[in-house]
Structure 1
């Protein structure tokens, strides 16, 4: 099964309340980043054990660990855990950057070092969220 089909299956598997918001956000991200690499992570490790929520990823970066090992991964991702929507902006060096730069303009969201969580799209300013995603991708490109 290709990545786009996995993404579609994931989105359609969600309850109505999150499905429409995640679909709308996914489409907006694709409009803003039409040439980005798409990823789908089902949330399972190599043994099939669930270790995280499924997520849709955008962009590409190579993460270099302290021991010199590398891992290819997405730059930004979205997921729909039971409490709403989470947006992950990976690879930022400054752990306070998201909160300091976008937190006050996002609306009703919780902002951590690499994650923006909100209940639904109505609770936030989607244009500011897209600005944060694009900014994060630019920083890690």
Structure 2
């Protein structure tokens, strides 16, 4: 079995966030960090070179593949901000309809800037995603 390429690192999440460019994206990333800390109650951890994770979970699929991954988090990418709602099985259409301007992948939510979305709805989505994840796999705080 292959291992996940994205793993937690010992690098500082705070240092990573402080270095995000441009300044507008850094401000949004710092605001997201505060939001995730408030919703989860957990400290951030850098996963791979650019993912800020809150909590973790261990999964074992029917195929036998298993691994660890961040429970929720975000990445301030060049083109957009990406929020990770793991593992992406639940239908959160009712919440997403109220979120604001975004695009959706299987376990990823993309938006250009924090001003494009309703932060209180994002908080609701993060909590719903964590609740759904915890109903499937044990979630550990970070």
- Secondary structure at the residue paired with 2:16? helix
Task: Return the TM-score normalized by structure 1.
Answer: 0.79
Query: Could you say which residue in structure 2 is the equivalent of 1:73?
Result: 69
Task: Return the TM-score normalized by structure 2.
Answer: 0.79
Match of 1:56 among 52, 57, 75: 52
Q: List gaps (5 residues or longer) in structure 2.
A: 1-8, 135-142
For residues 140 and 13 of structure 1, the distance between their equivalents in structure 2, rounded to whole angstroms, comes to: 31
1:101 is displaced (CA, Å) by: 2.6
Q: Which has the higher helix share?
A: 1
1:90 is displaced (CA, Å) by: 1.0
For residues 62 and 101 of structure 1, the distance between their equivalents in structure 2, rounded to whole angstroms, comes to: 28
**Structure-to-structure mapping, 1:1-141, within 5 angstroms:** 6-15=12-21, 16-34=23-41, 36=42, 38-43=44-49, 54-94=50-90, 97-98=91-92, 100-141=93-134
For residues 48 and 63 of structure 2, the distance between their equivalents in structure 1, rounded to whole angstroms, comes to: 27
Structure 1 stretches of at least 4 aligned residues deviating more than 6 Å after TM superposition: none
Q: Which has the higher strand share?
A: 2
- Report how many aligned residue pairs link the two structures: 125
**Greater relative contact order (CA < 8 Å, ≥ 6 in sequence):** 2
